[in-house]
Chains A and B, each alone.
Chain A
Amino acid sequence: MATGQDFLARLLQQATSAESTRVRVRAANIESLRDNGLPLEERLESFKYTPLARFVVDDLLEERFSPPTITVANAAPPPEITVEHSIDPLPADHHPLARINGSLLAGVVYVDVAPNTHLDYPIEIDYRQAGPCTRVCVRAGDASRCEIVERHVAAGVANRVTRVDIGSGATVAHRRIELHAAAHSQWALLAVDVGAASHYELDHYMAAAAPRRSEVVIDLTGCGASCELTGAVIGNEKQIGDLQVQVNHRATDTRSRQLVHAIAAGQSVLTFNGRIEIDARGDGSDATLTSRNLLLAPTARVNAKPELEIHTRNVACSHGATVGQLDPQQLFYLRSRGIDDLTARRLLTRAFLLRAITPRAQALGFEAELIAHLAP
Chain B
Amino acid sequence: MTSRPLLEIVDLHVTVAGKPIVNGLSLTIGIGEVHALMGPNGSGKSTLTNVLAGREGYEVVAGSARLDGRDLLPLSPEARAHLGLFLAFQYPIEIPGVSNMEFLKAALDARQQSLGSEPLSTIDFMKRVRGIATELDLSAEFLKRGVNEGFSGGEKKRNEILQMLMLEPRMALLDETDSGLDIDALKVVAAGVNRYRREDRGILLVTHYQRLLDHIVPDFVHVLAGGRIVRSGDASLARELEARGYGWLTDAA
Contacts and interface: CB of A to CB of B under 8 A. Distances in A.
Interface in A317-376: 328-330, 332-341, 343, 347-348, 350-355
B235 to A, nearest CB: 29
A126 B164 CA distance: 49
B93 interface: yes
A355 B97 contact: yes
B169 to A, nearest CB: 9
Nearest to A337: B107
Nearest to B53: A336
Contacts of A328: 56
Interface stretch (B74-82, B180-188, B200-208, B223-231): B74-82
Residue of B53, B97, B110, B147 contacting most chain A CB atoms (<10 Å): B97
B76 A335 contact: yes
Contact of B103 (A335, A337, A353): A337
Contact of A339 (B53, B89, B107, B146): B107
Contacts of A341: 76, 78
A93 B80 CA distance: 62
Contact of A338 (B89, B92, B95, B167): B167
B177 interface: no
Interface in B18-71: 53-56
Given A328-B56, A333-B89, A347-B106, A339 B78 contact: yes
A332 B56 contact: yes
B114 interface: yes
Residue of B81, B87, B89, B95 contacting most chain A CB atoms (<10 Å): B95
Given A332-B77, A335-B81, A336-B87, 7 more contacts: A333-B93, A337-B103, A338-B78, A348-B98, A354-B97, A355-B96, A355-B97
Interface of B: 53-56, 76-78, 80-82, 86-87, 89, 92-93, 95-98, 102-103, 106-107, 110-111, 114, 146-147, 163, 167
5 contacts: A328-B56, A333-B93, A335-B54, A337-B103, A353-B97
